[in-house]
Amino acid sequence: MPRVPSISPATGTSTPDYYIHTTCSNFVDSHGRTLLLRGVNLSGSSKTPAGSQTQVLENFWEDAEAGGKQFIGRPLNLEDGSADVHLARLKAWGFNMLRYVVTWEALEHEGPGKYDFEFMDYTVRVLRKCAEYGFKVFIDPHQDIWSRFTGGSGAPYWTLIACGINPRHMTATQSAIVHCEYPTAQFPDPASLPAMLWSTNYGRLAAQTVFTLFFAGRDFAPKCVIDGVNIQDYLEHHFFTAFGHLADRIRDAGDLLDACVIGWDSINEPFEGFCGNPDLANAETTHNATLKKGTQPAIIQSLRLGMGQKQTLENWKFTAIGPRRDGDVIVDPKGRKIWLDPDVEKDGLNTRWGWTRGPEWKLGTCVWAQHGVWDVHASEFTNPFYFASSPARPNEPVSFVETYWKAHWRKYVQRIRQSHPEAIHFVQPPVFVEPPPLDEKDDLRGRACYSGHYYDGLTLVTRHWNWFNADALGILRGKYKWMLQGIRIGEPAIRKCIQEQLGILKKDTELIGAYPTLIGEIGTPFDMDGKRSYGYTDNGKHTGDFRNQQKALDASLNAADGPNCINWTVWTYCPDHTHAFGDGWNMEDLSLWSPDDLGQWRIMAMAMVRAPAQAALRLRLPRGRERNVPSASSSAATLLRPELRSPFSFARPGKNMAAVAAAGKKSTSTLSLATLGPAREGEAAAPTSLSAWDNPLDFVLDGGRAVPAFSRPYPVATVGVPVHMEFDIKKARFTLTVRVTPEDGLMKPQRERRCEDGHEDTHYLDHADADAHHDHGHAAQGLGEWKDPPDVMPTEIFLPLVHYASQSLVARSMMQHRGVGADGDYDGQDQDLGSNTPTDPDIDDIDFESPVSSYISATSTLALAARSSLDVHVEVSHGRTEVEGQYLKWWYDVPARGEVEYSVTITRLGGPIKFGEGEGGGDGDGTVGRGLLRRLRGVVCSRIVSFVSPAFLHQ
């Protein structure tokens, strides 16, 4: 890794020690170590105001028309202390990065130019809480299908009125499927909304129209003028200004930029609308493809429905063998139009929202009819090629990304930089679309990251972990002559295929430069197979069994390992998730945790296969000592806030963890889970504080779903560059290979001191000039004398408790929850374990004054378990290691010339912890006989076709 600069490439100013560089295709810390940033989206719940999940119809329209509801409380409740519990859990899982979800609606719901500064100040407080736990954050301006009022999330209600649309008629005209009005506004049954039906809204009139106006209104809708500017400029101005105000508020906080908030994503999953559609009348074009599920209006039918005309639509259902035609459905709007009634605005003036509409824009008539795309009276296209090229360049096909998205991105980045000059800009073009070339000097300035998304589409739409899958990215990009060539059979082949697809996305980053890759969204549904894991099937036989979800999620996250070694943020973590309505948005169910699953770990405990018993050590820690666990940014940082005890020091029943939190200097809340909702009838209430967990292993697992898949080992900071990493979830075996060059030994910890002339002197020290700084000529004030930095910084590897917990922790968990005796056998009753029972280390029992460490030769191995809550067996090719908390520190020599590769292998001492998972699917090497493949061809291809489409991939 080349030496990192001490001067910012974006601003030319000195960089502080917490500065994260984006160079040589990686995130790099100020010591020159390669960082992996891995975490979660916080949160899917932020798509809706608190208490207003998408299934709730009561006051849905009335609140919007009155100016909307505040989003305070999204994503976390700061008043009752539950925020500390959630953030402690995320940190204990090993996450160090948060993609922080904010919608435009949350910032400007009351009306154009009326900004919710109270929410912005609340956001600053939440970000400060995230900073206390050591998280790095990038802000996600989130949207799906434009707005909650077009069946998604993102933009305020008034933006639809500004576009000349009457949102009240979405359902009647099938312009969008709105969850709370499904299947009809008169007889809603939101719980019956089929999985992924919301994604078909990308093929419906509302989203297609509004995105076209937002990105390309000047070219394709020149008559649409409001307050003297085109609708595109009007909407973009408000979008940029709203997020600009949020950036101002974060800047003015004074302690968040770069230390915690490191950057900004571009608008989530941008959609082209009609832009570039070569032929509106040809339903077979790739541009017009969508998920075949539910009603499927052709574009001309959508336009007719929007004008209140009755239509007969194809209806489709998704079966075990793929999409199947399910008759026709007659949709009769009974004259109701999606277009706003002319009486709403007299002489173009809208008294409710305060704008004046241009005279050429006629309300009550389809905006595309006004621009000559179709004839309302004839109900036919007059120019189906209208969007194939722009009026300014009639002979050139439209490139949405190059022409429209890039222009939008540049204006957005320009506004954010006014408030956050050092921001890392996360470049997110449409899903699976290559990013366009961007100018290094004007656009990127050395501060960028490619942040594409990836989902296993087949698993999403089928809600089942299948024995086959497909190379969706390869098929979309024309890699195969025949679709059958893109099919993969068996789990090994599927896992390899997904890893290759993520490799292609990493390769896409090179189109913008030598920047890091972060998969901004990746995940799997947890409501698989008819919600059997929730006990909805088979008389509850499978309650708490997330084996299939674990396989699916492990396959996706494993793909980020191997030779890819890329960053990710999983979608998602929802504090108010429920089994009944999932994440609270369109029946999506991808949250890694649910209050409804609290206590399910106790079921898992019985299924655990106890590894061979190890001798229990009762270790002592002087009272008053606090336990520190390193993070990616600092090896001396604590896992929790510095003023709180480690989450692995849990109060036994009767201890008050809220009191512990209150004792912290910065603590403003108690550690409580009270906000997770009242208990349902017949159920026990959710725990109200961390005192509910006597065992840290229980804490990381309780309420979590498929935790072993996402709480996985990885190098958070590497001296050199990680070139290959593998984690075998069944064997708890982690291997890492790093490449080290002479440059990796030059960078030293950055030191600051105040000199006699009052300025702060910042230096990077190397071997040659370390001593020279003793003779700098200034006396340090308040920081003590200069000290020689250590010769080499360590590589730090996160070791998840769920895979490497000590035997005593595992035994205690089983015995406490399922009556498992000291011999590991379950006898159906509580055990009197006596004084010889192994117990988990806690804060009073662990001696940190004598860290366990050893110099290891290239051929030796060392079991590092004696002074830790982990039982790990480490083999290294070179160097020495030390376990500290949940991290393995690894020191090794840096070569004087050339390059070397070192490797480390980590397993659990005594064997992996078993959680009752199956042996996995797959058929050996993933191949099948020709005869079987021929028999499977029809089934597989029909299912693959249904999810490999541009519109569906906007997840």
Q: Which residue among 132, 236, 269, 422 is the active-site one?
A: 269
- Structure-token match 């056998």, residue found: 825
On the 0-12 / 13-18 / 19+ scale of CB atoms within 10 A, 482 is exposed
The 10 Å Cβ neighbour count of residue 579 is 17
Strands of 95-189, DSSP E? 97-103, 136-142
Cα-based angle 798, 744, 32 (whole degrees, multiple of 5)? 60
Specify the residue for token string 């004398």: 785
Q: Which two tokens stand for residue 17?
A: 């020690």
User: Strand 879-884 to strand 887-891: parallel, antiparallel, or no bridges (unpaired)?
Assistant: antiparallel
Q: Catalytic pick from 521, 588, 796, 884?
A: 521
Contacts of 474 (CB under 8 A, 6+ apart): 480, 486, 500, 501, 504
- H or E element that contains 319: strand 311-319
Q: Is 521 a catalytic residue?
A: yes
3-state secondary structure (DSSP) of residue 881: strand
Angle value at C-alpha 445, between 440 and 447, nearest 5 degrees = 115
Per-position b or e across 330-355, b if 16+ CB within 10 A of its CB = ebebeebbbbbeeebbeebebeebeb
The two structure tokens encoding residue 137: 């954050």
For residue 138, list its beta bridge partners: 99, 263
* SS3 sequence of 443-475: HHCCCEEECCCCCCHHHHHHCCCCCEEECHHHH
- Residue 79 CA neighbour count, 13 Å, CB half: 6
- Kindly state the tokens that stand for 402: 């190059």
Six token digits for residue 246: 């949020």
Spatial strand order of the sheet with 879-884 comes to 21-23, 26-28, 34-35, 714-718, 795-798, 887-891, 879-884, 853-856
754: helix, strand or coil: strand
DSSP states of 294-308: EEE--HHHHHHHHTT
Yes or no: say if 231 and 220 are a contact pair by the CB < 8 Å rule. Answer: no
| Six token digits for residue 594 | 């649910």
The Cα 400–Cα 782 span in angstroms is 57
CA atoms 806, 810, 815, 821: torsion sign: negative
Q: Which of 437, 399, 431 is nearest to 515 (CA)?
A: 437
Residue 577: which residues within 8 A CB-CB, separation 6 or more? 45, 583, 584, 589, 591, 593, 594, 595, 596
The whole-angstrom distance between residue 682's C-alpha and the CA centroid of its chain comes to 34
Residue positions counted in the chain? 955
164 vs 483: CA distance, rounded Å: 42
Residues paired with 381 in a beta bridge: 374
**Contact status, residue 176 vs residue 201, Cβ threshold 8 Å:** yes
Contact 634, 30 (CB under 8 A): no
Active site residue 588: no
Cβ atoms of 180 and 60 within 8 Å: the answer is yes
Give 901's strand partners.
739
User: What are 426's strand-pairing partners?
Assistant: 265, 449
Cβ proximity of 208 and 201 under 8 Å:
no
Which residues fall within 8 angstroms of residue 331, CB to CB, at 6 or more apart?
A: 173, 174, 295, 297, 305, 310, 311, 312, 313
State how far the Cα of 613 lies from the Cα of 715, in Å rounded to an integer: 29
Residues belonging to the active site: 269, 521
